[in-house]
Amino acid sequence: MSEADFLPQETIRALRDGREPQPEDIARFIAGLTDGRVGEGQAAAFAMAVFFRGLSREGRVALTRAMTESGRVLAWDLPGPVLDKHSTGGVGDCISLALAPAVAACGGYVPMISGRGLGHTGGTLDKLDSIPGYVSQPGLDAFRKTVREAGCAIIGQTADLAPADRRLYAIRDVTATVESIDLITASILSKKLAAGLDGLVMDVKTGSGAFMPDLAGARALAQSIVNVAEGAGLPTRALITDMNEPLAPVAGNAREVAFIIAYLKGAHADSRFHTVNCALGGAMLALGGLASDTSEGEAMIARAIASGAAAERFARMVAALGGPADLVEHPETHLTAAPVMRDVTAPRAGYIARIATREIGLAVVALGGGRVQPGDEIDHRVGVDALAGCGAKVDAGTILARVHARDEETARAACARILAAFTIADMQPGPAALVADRIGG
């Protein structure tokens, strides 16, 4: 079939009817998505058909390769390994902002191409956009320069890198097609393959705040990503980590940046966040040959945080990409506060037995901290902090969360939603395993 004879609807029809298109048809569809021959409605139909019918391993590889080849693929010449980490998303998952500079401080180079929020989850780029002046989509020259000089750069997809994914990513967010293993695999790996990595570590979330809430689904996604990545020549490991409660005790863009700065400065010791950060970083350093094994790598990440070396790399990255040079020293000067703050308190004494984590994320979206439509503007000020964790003992009136809102009306709605997300019981639940499984290697 020539390009002139290509009909996008026939690819959609094949998927809809359970007949997987040939790799070349998938490639033509993605090329059309990139150059405009495939319309937004057709892209939405494609995503929905894949969501319901699925793809084989060969189909996932074909989709991933087509999305990677829709733009430029980078090559690096650096004195250390080029490494990255990617999370499938969750609530309060701001680890990228701490992990990239920590790995850089240990000798790795991290060209992290991240995305915006999807559904109830926060997006790394939305968090960075709360920093005044930070250019989250710089040109490739600035991206390369920052990686070389700071050791890390966290940016969004430029027009050159996996442009087909950028378009499909926004459509998935508003068409309820986010939770597809096929689409998640292709979206993640197209960006990572385009970044020219030497190694990738995946953080696949499972639990009430994850796109894959059950462990079996999380394992299937992790295995898919590892298999497709290894098939494409990218060494990859996956950790399955807990998202039955927010990873950090905070959710919302500027609020999470403030938390990260406090964490890097040693002013906010959250053991849950720190444990997962070190586990992911340790795996990255071992994969890149900078540590003999993951245990040594975890210790190296912990030292990079404790010594302030990671904070220095973070500050260097922010300044190189247009942000304030004194953000780490004076975050309160640059991160705008919301005008309304209200506490959510426990109605009775007991223990926090469960948290409907997805509801916390949706409360932040409703506050204005996420998108309902692709073009929606985000209010970076809003969010939630002081979140209590599972297993915590509370009394009547104990603060479960603090809401940061733009007005009283949205604050009241968020407080009600967040209160309903907490289940308080008489018995203390057992601790959850933060790292449920490791895949690859």
Look at residue 440 and tell me if it is in a domain. Answer: no
Say which CATH number the domain at 381 has.
3.90.1170.30
Annotated catalytic residue, options 87, 96, 114, 410: 87
Question: Is 86 an active-site residue?
Answer: yes
Strand partners, 134: none
pLDDT value at residue 117: 66
* Residue 346 lies inside a defined structural domain of this protein: yes
| 64: in domain | no
| 125 and 219 inside one domain | yes
Assess whether 291 and 196 both reside in one domain: yes
Same domain, 319 and 290: yes
Amino acid (one-letter) located at 435: V
For residue 168, being part of any structural domain is answered with yes
Quote the tokens at residue 167. Answer: 């378009």
Identify the domain containing residue 363 by its residue range. 337-425
pLDDT of residue 374: 66
Residues facing residue 156 across a β-bridge: 114
Is 191 a residue of the active site? yes
Q: How many domains does the chain have?
A: 3
How many CB atoms are closer than 10 A to CB 214?
11
Among residues 96, 187, 294, 410, the one annotated as catalytic is: 187
Query: Which of 70, 96, 114, 124 is flagged as catalytic?
Result: 124
Residues 366 and 224 in one domain: no
348 and 368 co-located in one domain? yes
Identify which of 158, 195, 199 has the alpha carbon closest to the alpha carbon of residue 76. Answer: 195
What's residue 249's pLDDT?
Answer: 95
Q: Could you confirm whether 85 is annotated as catalytic?
A: yes
Which candidate in 60, 65, 192, 316 is catalytic?
Answer: 192
For residues 197 and 296, state if they share a domain: yes
- 28, 60, 85, 402: which is the annotated catalytic residue? 85
Task: Note whether 209 and 192 are same-domain residues.
Answer: yes
- Examine the residue annotation and report whether 25 is marked as an active-site residue of this protein: no
Burial (CB count within 10 angstroms: exposed 0-12, middle 13-18, buried 19+), residue 299: middle
One domain for residues 290 and 345: no
pLDDT along the chain (441 residues), means of 10: 76 94 94 92 95 93 93 92 92 95 98 77 86 92 95 87 86 85 90 92 92 89 91 91 95 95 84 95 98 97 96 98 96 95 98 96 92 79 96 97 97 97 96 92 73
Same-domain pairing of 29 and 94: no
| Same-domain check for residues 117 and 154 | yes
Same domain, 38 and 94: no
Residue 145 annotated among the catalytic residues of the structure = no
Q: Identify the CATH number of the domain in which residue 42 sits.
A: 1.20.970.10
Q: Given the residues 127, 167, 191, 381, select the one marked as catalytic.
A: 191
219 is catalytic: no
Q: Directed axis angle between helix 271-287 and helix 95-105, to 10°?
A: 50
Own/partner long-range contacts of 264-270 (Cβ < 8 Å, ≥24 apart): 264/98, 264/101, 264/305, 264/308, 264/310, 264/311, 264/314, 264/328, 265/308, 265/311, 265/328, 266/305, 266/306, 266/308
Is 84 in the active site?
Answer: yes
Mark whether 97 and 38 lie in a shared domain. no
Q: Say what the pLDDT of residue 2 is.
A: 54
**Considering the domain boundaries, does residue 15 fall inside one?**
yes
Write down the catalytic residue from 11, 25, 84, 270: 84
Closest CA to 384 of 397, 398, 368, 373: 368
Considering the candidates 60, 65, 127, 172, report the single residue annotated as catalytic.
Answer: 172
| CATH number of the CATH domain containing 303 | 3.40.1030.10
